[in-house]
């Protein structure tokens, strides 16, 4: 049994240091795959702690703490990138970079991981196995997890399991949100192009109306959820933009529609994409036009491993009490590229309560007033350290 009081004492010693790190990251946010200052600051912190590290995926960093004895290897992950929006909070650590803001808590995640690294490094002579630290770029955009994995961060030594977290202001500090099985959706961006034929609007028989075809396609696509997806499952199809035509008296020869598909499992994902393609192509052909579907594959669904999540649940109960656990009732249709780690190895992703109504910390992520209760930093460090150690000891 790990000494929880000792762990809490160690976390207390680094708390102010971690708060300063978080505030520095918050003041200097950088967008996906452009996190150069952030990367270099992380490397500087790791070097000062004498933790071996290297750059991966351009702006990402992987580091390793090697225990005294051989054993398994566990990964801890933090994302790095900010969002392209204005920080409107009135706080001393408000963003100094116009039009950029850490509005999703990735500054918190990095600070927590560095705090955990400092504690785990101090305990390395009592650790059996290794801890890998993944500082991952571009979660909000192109996804940095997949290129990091391609560059071999899960090997040499082989990573046996991974833990990740995300702050959540809908939960109060001290609460831990867990969801067994499907936690986040898969995402696919789609572009539909309907090709027709121009003619004068007064002589429609001479043309092929791409707008008319598009109308039929849009209506038919709405049935994919209600008539093709198992009612016990679910999916989301959103068409967000439509462009076409040249003038009120011209039959349009082209319409472009853009949207997104969100699904919770591989079978629903495959079925939705197949149905959308067949509708686009079939209706267009039946009306003498040509329909084209262009798919841009997004993140896969995030599915937690039961055994890994059991570690998180038990540790949270031991550290913070039985009432700290919040069981998330439904999967989220948001996406999270930690899913790539979870596809590769057993993994657990959980929500870290960061809200505090008494302090006015109530604003959700991706909004200009987003902030966190900094007491959650200690909670996150404590839980991630214990997750890593318990995993290695099992």
- Indicate if 93 belongs to the active site: no
Query: Tokens 């997104």 sit at which residue?
Result: 260
Helix (H, G, I), strand (E, B) or coil at 328: coil
- Indicate if 52 belongs to the active site: no
Q: Which neighbouring-strand residues pair with 351? A: 166, 177
Cα–Cα distance between 340 and 274 in angstroms, integer? Answer: 23
Distances (CA, A) of 352 to 28, 140, 199, 258, 326: 23, 18, 59, 34, 10
Q: What tokens does 256 get?
A: 């472009």
* Rounded-to-10 torsion of CA 310, 312, 314, 319: 180
Which residues in 289-305 are b (16+ Cβ under 10 Å) and which e? bbbebeeeebbbbbbbb
Q: What tokens does 242 get?
A: 């439509």
Q: Are 47 and 53 in contact (CB under 8 A)?
A: yes
**Active-site residue (options: 45, 93, 299, 340):** 299
Catalytic positions are 299, 374
């Amino acid at each position: 049994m790990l000494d929880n009081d000792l762990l809490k004492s160690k976390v207390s010693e680094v708390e102010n240091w971690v708060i300063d790190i978080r505030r520095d990251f918050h003041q200097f946010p950088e967008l996906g795959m452009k996190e150069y200052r952030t990367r270099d600051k992380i490397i500087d912190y790791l070097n000062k702690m004498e933790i071996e590290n290297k750059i991966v995926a351009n702006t990402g960093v992987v580091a390793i703490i090697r225990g005294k004895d051989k054993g398994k290897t566990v990964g801890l992950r933090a994302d790095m990138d900010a969002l392209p929006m204005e920080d409107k909070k009135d706080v001393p650590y408000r963003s100094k970079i116009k039009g950029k803001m850490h509005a999703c808590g990735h500054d918190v995640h990095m600070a927590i991981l560095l705090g955990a690294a400092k504690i785990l490094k101090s305990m390395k002579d009592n650790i059996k196995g290794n801890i890998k630290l993944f500082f991952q770029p571009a979660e909000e955009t192109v996804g940095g997890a997949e290129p990091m994995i391609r560059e071999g961060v899960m090997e040499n030594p082989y990573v046996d399991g991974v833990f990740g977290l995300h702050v959540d202001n809908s939960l109060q500090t001290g609460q831990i949100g867990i969801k067994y099985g499907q936690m986040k959706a898969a995402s696919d961006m789609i572009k539909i192009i309907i090709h027709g034929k121009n003619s004068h609007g007064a002589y429609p028989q001479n043309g092929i109306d791409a707008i008319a075809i598009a109308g039929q396609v849009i209506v038919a696509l709405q049935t994919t959820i209600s008539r093709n997806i198992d009612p016990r499952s679910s999916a989301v199809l959103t068409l967000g933009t439509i462009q076409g035509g040249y003038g009120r008296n011209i039959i349009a020869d082209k319409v472009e529609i853009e949207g997104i598909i969100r699904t919770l499992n591989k079978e629903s994902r495959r079925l939705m994409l197949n149905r959308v393609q067949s509708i686009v192509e079939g209706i267009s052909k039946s009306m003498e036009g040509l329909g084209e579907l262009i798919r841009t594959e997004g993140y896969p669904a995030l599915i937690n491993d039961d055994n890994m999540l059991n570690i998180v649940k038990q540790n949270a109960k031991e550290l913070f009490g039985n009432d700290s656990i919040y069981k998330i009732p439904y999967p989220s249709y948001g996406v999270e590229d930690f899913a790539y780690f979870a596809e590769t190895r057993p993994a657990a992703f959980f929500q870290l309560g960061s809200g505090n109504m008494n302090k006015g910390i109530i604003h959700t992520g991706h909004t200009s007033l987003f902030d966190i209760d900094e007491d959650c930093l200690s909670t996150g460090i404590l839980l991630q350290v214990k997750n890593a150690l318990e995993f290695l000891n099992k």
